[in-house]
A and B are shown apart, each in its own frame.
Chain A
Amino acid sequence: MESLIRYAPLLAGGAVVTLSLALLSLALATLLGGLGAAGKLGGGPFLRTLALAYTTVVRGAPDLVWLFLVYFGGQRLVNDITGALGLGQVAVTPFLAGVFTIGMIYGAYLTETFRGAYLTIPRGQTEAAMALGLRGLPLQRKVVIPQLIRFALPGYGNVWQVLVKATAIVSVIGLQDLVGLASDAGKSTREPFVFFSAVLLAYLLITWVSQTLLGLLERRAAAGFADAR
């Protein structure tokens, strides 16, 4: 127990790594999810097929397999490119590989979340806006997007909760996140049970805080709806 207190500052640093990895991955996933949903909803045959291939292939294989492909295969690819251009070595770090992999995977899930939310917006909403003379970007920004956010938030929150837990795998390629550091600390103190239990509690804490914040956000996004909870 006292070893846990001794290692607390180190583990706090690991938690910061875990959270920044999760937040950056979420940002990339949101971008890819937006593009994917736009491709599936408004793209031509080519873009639609591309988006469908993206969501199907990415969700077909486990996260750790993608992580290895990105980390080891990606390094090879980067080496080939820098070699052909006559540049120096560029290292693919575990952190970068993690952000890319997790962002890519959860972008596929968010594609479906955004697409579903868009399809939930009643048709009359856009029709009414168009009757008032809105079109193009202002129509999207003033009428579509605010409602999209309301309908997408519950699904978005679920994806975030799963994404945070998925970041644990990046410790396998050597990232010193919460799991990686606890693993090392457990070995050197010979108290692995204590440290892995602490990690479980830390994840539960993150889940719980996220749940509370997401509840607040959902209430805000649903302002003005009597049935909203």
Chain B
Amino acid sequence: MHADLVILNWHLFASGAWMTLQLTFLALAIGFSIALPAGLARARRVRVVSPLINGYVYLFRGTPLLVQTFLIYFGLAQFEWIRGSWAWTFLRDPWWCALIAFSLNSGAYGTEIIRGAIVTTGKGELEAAWALGLSRRQVDWLVLMPSALRRSLPQYGNEAVFMLQGSVVASVITLQDILGAGRTLNARYYLAYEGFLAAAILYMAITFLLVLAFRGLEGRYLRHLRPRGVR
């Protein structure tokens, strides 16, 4: 066991952690901004749009993130017209390809979460809002969305952990994330497991912090749903 080599190369893991966190949080943020309108459109069954979104969700939830990333990073390079376009500055870069794939993937899972939270909104909640004479838009943004988003927190917490752990795919397309750091360490010193073990511990620590953070958010925003007398 060469723990000393891990400690000596701590900066590899530090910059790897930065890469992992960056990709995870950006993908979650972009994914959420896809999921919010898409989930609402699905819940409302907006004509034409809703089936299209359904296809998008089915495609991205039914296939591996690894293959989605490969399709964007390796696949798109097949076309001459893409390599000749302005988009090529982004699509030749593994970082942008990973971010695009992760965001689309997270957006698909997020859409289902938001849709589910919206359709399970208590009817009485909306009826009360209508009875108060709120306009449709006011009901949406002052009653429906705040209520649905709060209730989607536990599942969105799961999605955040899922995205964090899914982001290891970045290391397969040459990016130096946490796992990338572990692989570099092992290759450089002919180690069998030390780098991967260090990576596993780092991922566990971040997963734990993420779970704690969401538990804190739930404690704050779902307080009104807790049974009486339970703290």
Residues of B within 8 A of A (CB): 58-59, 62-68, 70-71, 74-79, 164-169, 171-172, 179, 182-183, 186, 192-193, 196-197, 199-201, 203-204, 207-208
Contacts and interface: CB of A to CB of B under 8 A. Distances in A.
5 contacts: A62-B165, A76-B193, A190-B78, A193-B71, A196-B71
A172 interface: yes
Interface centre among A65, A69, A72, A168 (most CB of B within 10 A): A65
Contacts of B77: 192
Nearest to A75: B192
Given A76-B192, A196-B71, 4 more contacts: A61-B199, A62-B166, A69-B196, A179-B70
A168 B66 contact: yes
Interface string A168-211: 11011000000100010010001111101101100110011000
B193 A61 contact: no
Q: Give the secondary structure class of B's interface.
A: helix
A165 B201 CA distance: 24
Contact of A204 (B63, B169, B196, B200): B63
A73 B192 contact: yes
A53 B199 CA distance: 18
A60 interface: yes
A21 B76 CA distance: 29
Q: Which 8 A-B pairs have the closest CB atoms?
A: A73-B193, A168-B64, A193-B75, A76-B192, A60-B204, A62-B165, A61-B200, A196-B71
Contacts of A68: 179, 182-183, 196
* Interface residues on chain A, size class: 35 or more
A65 to B, nearest CB: 5
Given A72-B196, A190-B78, A192-B75, A61 B63 contact: no
A203 B166 contact: no
Nearest to A79: B192
A193 B166 contact: no
Given A69-B193, A73-B193, A204 B59 contact: yes
A72 B186 contact: yes
A57 interface: yes
A73 B64 CA distance: 25
B74 A65 contact: no
